[in-house]
Structure 1
Amino acid sequence: MIKESTRQPEQACFREVVAAGDYFIRTLDQGQTVRLLDLEGNQAADTLFYSAADPAERYSAMDTIREQGNVYLTAGTVLMSNRMNPLLEIVADTCGRHDTLGGACATESNTVRYDLEKRCMHACRDSWMLAVNQHPEFHLGKRDITHNINFFMNVPVTAEGGLTFEDGISAPGKYVELTARMDTVILISNCPQLNNPCNGYNPTPIEVLIWDH
């Protein structure tokens, strides 16, 4: 569902451009709103969410899908934790839908899906692992890399129940906004994938903006 925001970028309390293939990690206070802005179009932002109070409580794709009765995420979606608590709510979305089924790229999956020689290519799991190792203050580790959301990524469900990675439906300037329902850690891998059309075969930067209210 398309829903535009009334928030103005110049009023944001925080702004940062995240380069293609880089990561972003930060705590969102309850009530803060974060915008992920697709600067150049068709850029997947693979994102994980955790309770800041207890990282063992984290985003659950299964619970979110079941509670809303829809496999796609968009404005109005409440992101549920594995303890059935609301983590965040999507309050604005100019892209229209986002994926939470396709998972994230990894060196292993690149090898299986594409070619043995692709194993050494950078992947989202690499970015997440780098983030948690460089930021021990968030108390995250390898075991915490679980369900993620692929913002701006187009992964249609086929009539047979399969998944396909297709050309993106985002465009320059499209964004999604989420308001934190609890103090929440956000961990983004700005996807470096070059082997399928999720990034238009050309990974590009995104911008993260945060408003207090």
Structure 2
Amino acid sequence: MPEVIEPRSGVAFRLAKGQRLTVIDPQGEQVSDMLAFAQDDTREVISSGRSLDYASKLFLSTGDPLYSNRSNIMLRIVHDDVGRHDFLLTPCSKDTFRIIYGDEAPHRGCFGNLAEALAPFGIEPDQIPVAFNIFMNVEIDGSTGALTVAPPKSRAGDRIVFEAEMDLIVGLTACSALQSNNYAFKPIHYQVEDAPSATNR
């Protein structure tokens, strides 16, 4: 049975090389921020810049690798029902809600949730990079470069599957930003399994 991340919360866990992580949107239109750190040295971390640079595209999907800041492949996308995720925007935070939404008592956001979940692994808030924002739909104006956060394209039961290329510490959330989730907060499900053997793939 999948594990449940409650709305506006986050978790962290170990993912061994060769294992697969499935992230599921059980109700539809819910974003999940994902981070990855190398278990052997948490200074090695998932890199938006290197992943997008090496793929020469903004939208990563089935078959695409996610690189670290040291140009090592951390994860590879092996299945993707949606095909639209964001790798540009930083995890939402108290400052996001204060600056963008004008909240006077802002929620700590995905950044705060990830910081708390990753703390037992010795990972500090300043180590948190741009996340791979699963199911997040950011539209880009081709002439001005303006960014618009649109409703996710994911529907109930849609999933994405990653295979670990090294031993990892993974942070995962059910995103806390209203606009990202079409103005509703819902859970995220996830499951860790061993990859199928070559004969069963």
1:130-152, Cα deviation, whole Å (9 max, x unpaired)? 2133x2xx121112111211100
Q: 2:5 aligns with which of 13, 18, 21?
A: 18
Is 2:133 the partner of 1:146? no
Which protein has the bigger strand share? 2
> Counterpart in 2 of 1:62?
49
Is 2:181 the partner of 1:199? yes
1:72-114, Cα deviation, whole Å (9 max, x unpaired)? 1211110000000000000000011210112211111211112
> Counterpart in 2 of 1:157?
140
> Counterpart in 2 of 1:209?
191
CA-based RMSD of the aligned residues comes to 1.3
Give the TM-score, by structure 2 length.
0.92
Q: Return the letter of the residue paired with 2:75.
A: L
SS of the residue 1:179 aligns to: strand
How far 1:206 sits from its partner (Å)? 1.1
> Counterpart in 2 of 1:121?
107
Is 2:33 the partner of 1:41? no
> Counterpart in 1 of 2:153?
169
Q: Unmatched 5+ residue regions in structure 1?
A: 1-9
Q: Distance in 2 between matches of 1:98 and 1:48?
A: 14
How far 1:122 sits from its partner (Å)? 3.7
> Counterpart in 1 of 2:165?
181
Moved more, 96-105 or 61-70: 96-105
How far 1:190 sits from its partner (Å)? 1.2
Identity %: 29
How far 1:121 sits from its partner (Å)? 2.4
How far 1:162 sits from its partner (Å)? 2.3
1:52-75, Cα deviation, whole Å (9 max, x unpaired)? 111100100000001011111211
Q: Unmatched 5+ residue regions in structure 2?
A: 196-201
Give the TM-score, by structure 1 length.
0.87
